[in-house]
Structure 1
Amino acid sequence: MQNRLLLTATVEREEALRVTPAGVPVLEVWLRHQSRQTEAGIERDVACEIQAVIAGEKARQLSGRLSGCQIEAQGFVCQRSLRNARLVLHIEHVEFVKG
């Protein structure tokens, strides 16, 4: 089964870097996407905001550098926790979009 998401978005908010009890650095960000898409032959404006997390050394490297930037984020979606079904994008790869 596949669970891959590629999204170009602006980082609206970036939280302070935190470290889990297991010692893993985690960076939480909120992404805002806006685009024009074609659905059933009809063009429409789409917009969404999605919470995302970056874990590991990449979180440490990007901490303090993302807020306000447009990025291309690639990763997978998962519910926030066992008790919270809200979807969160777990970013595995980030590229800054020039523009």
Structure 2
Amino acid sequence: MQNRLVLTATVEREDILRYTPAGVPVLDMWLRHHSRQQEAGVERDVICEIQGIMAGDACREWAGKLAGQTVRVSGFISQRSLRNSRLVLHIEYVEFVKG
């Protein structure tokens, strides 16, 4: 089964870099997307916000640099936890998008 999401969005908010009890760096952020898409032959505005989580050594490179930036991210979606079914994007790749 495939679970891959690529999204161009603005990083609305970025938390400070934190570490799990096992010492893994984690960076939480909130992404806002706005575009026009075709659906059933009709153009519509698409607006959404999703929480993104990046884990691992790449977090150190990106921490403090993303807030307010437009980025293209890719990763997979999963529920936040066993008890919280809200979707979260687990980011594996980030690149800045030039305006």
Q: Normalised by the size of structure 2, how large is the TM-score? A: 0.99
The residue identity in structure 1 corresponding to 2:96 is F
CA–CA distance in structure 1, aligned partners of residues 77 and 60 of structure 2: 21
**1:81 corresponding residue in structure 2:** 81
> Shift in Å at residue 89 of structure 1?
0.1
Give the number of aligned pairs. Answer: 99
Counterpart of 1:96 in structure 2: which amino acid? F
1:92 maps to 92
Helix, strand or coil at the partner of 1:3: coil
Give the secondary structure class of the aligned counterpart of 1:66.
Answer: coil
Moved over 6 A (4+): none
Distance 1:79 1:60 in 2: 24
- 1:39-94 Cα offsets, whole Å, 9 max, x none, are 01100001000000010111111000000000000000000000000000000000
**Secondary structure in 2 aligned to 1:50?**
strand
1:97 Cα offset (Å): 0.2
Q: 1: distance between equivalents of 2:61 and 2:24?
A: 13
Task: Please state whether the residue corresponding to 2:60 is helix, strand or coil.
Answer: helix
Structure 1 unaligned regions, length at least 5: none
Distance 2:76 2:58 in 1: 16
Q: Runs of 5+ in structure 2 lacking a partner?
A: none
